[in-house]
Structure 1
Amino acid sequence: MTQDYTSRVIWTGNLGTGTSGYRAYARSWDVAVPGKPVIHCSNDPLLGGDPTKMNPEDLLLSALSACHMLWFLHYAAENGLVVSSYEDRPLGLARHGKGGAGQFLSARLRTVITLQPGADTALADQLHQRIGEVCFIARSVNFPVHHDPRYLSAEA
């Protein structure tokens, strides 16, 4: 089975003279998916982008983290592991080369998950390990994704 995904990427950085010179345009655009809020984006600040806007690297790392989270929550529900909160602060390690070319070398998901008191954290660890087999984004990237989960116990 195949499924189509679609998006619109609209350059918003024409400052009046288009790409007439390297500094004559902004590295900004909008991501517009029909029926969803627009995301205002820019290039990485190291490459002249607006640091207050999402950049492609932010979006990729966030998508990877969100995909992992959704699968973890799914597996937790299937296995009777009650999660009351989940937060991740993913960290991507990238290498930048000449002329701005770069690539991710790895990603580390640093989750803090609150579980019901007495929950089986060994089971939670096993669930994290299974996600790489099914997560759409993790299966699509060409760099390793590591997991450093930390578990908290919910107040009784």
Structure 2
Amino acid sequence: MEHSYSAEVIWTGNRGAGTINYRGYDRTWDIAVPGKAVVHCSNDPLLGGDPTKMNPEDLLLSSLSACHMLWYLHYAANAGLIVSSYRDSPIGVGEVEKSGAGRFLSATLRPEIALNAGADLDLAHDLHHRIHAVCFIARSVNFPISYAPTFRAT
């Protein structure tokens, strides 16, 4: 079944003279989706972007982590594992070539998951390896994703 997504990306970086020269405009924009909060964005701070705003790399890594989390919670519920909290601090590794072209080389998801006392930790760990086959975002990227979960009993 095919379905579509839409968004509006609106450049907000015109200082009044447009793209008169490379340093004459800001690399800022808004992401607007009807009925949802606007997300104010900038490019990577390494490229002069605003470090207080989300950049494309932040958004991709966050999307990957969120998709993984949602599938993990789904699989845990189906397996009878009770998750009481889930927090991820993913790390993405990228490179920029001499030409300026960049890409992600890898990502490591590092979720901290609280499970009920006595939970099957082997099963809890193994669920992570099932997700890549179904996660929309993970299936859409071309770099390796690894998992380094930690578990604690509640």
TM-score tier (shorter) = over 0.9
Tell me the alpha carbon deviations over residues 58-79 of structure 1, each in whole angstroms, 9 at most, x when there is no partner: 0000000000000000000111
Amino acid at match of 2:32: A
Aligned to 1:53: 53
2:26 counterpart of 1:26: yes
3-state SS of the aligned residue for 1:105? strand
Shift of 1:126: 1.4
Gaps in structure 1 of 5+ consecutive residues: none
2:11 counterpart of 1:8: no
Aligned to 1:98: 98
Tell me the alpha carbon deviations over residues 103-154 of structure 1, each in whole angstroms, 9 at most, x when there is no partner: 0000000110000001001001111000000000000000000000000100
Aligned to 2:74: 74
Distance 1:99 1:32 in 2: 31
Question: Structure 1 vs Structure 2: percent identity of aligned residues?
Answer: 66
Aligned to 1:123: 123
RMSD of aligned residue pairs (Cα, Å)? 0.7
Alignment of 1:125-140 (within 5 A): 125-140=125-140
Contact 1:91 1:107 in 2 (8 A): yes
Tell me the alpha carbon deviations over residues 67-95 of structure 1, each in whole angstroms, 9 at most, x when there is no partner: 00000000001110000000000000001
TM-score, with structure 1 as normaliser: 0.97
3-state SS of the aligned residue for 1:106? strand
Give aligned pairs, total: 154
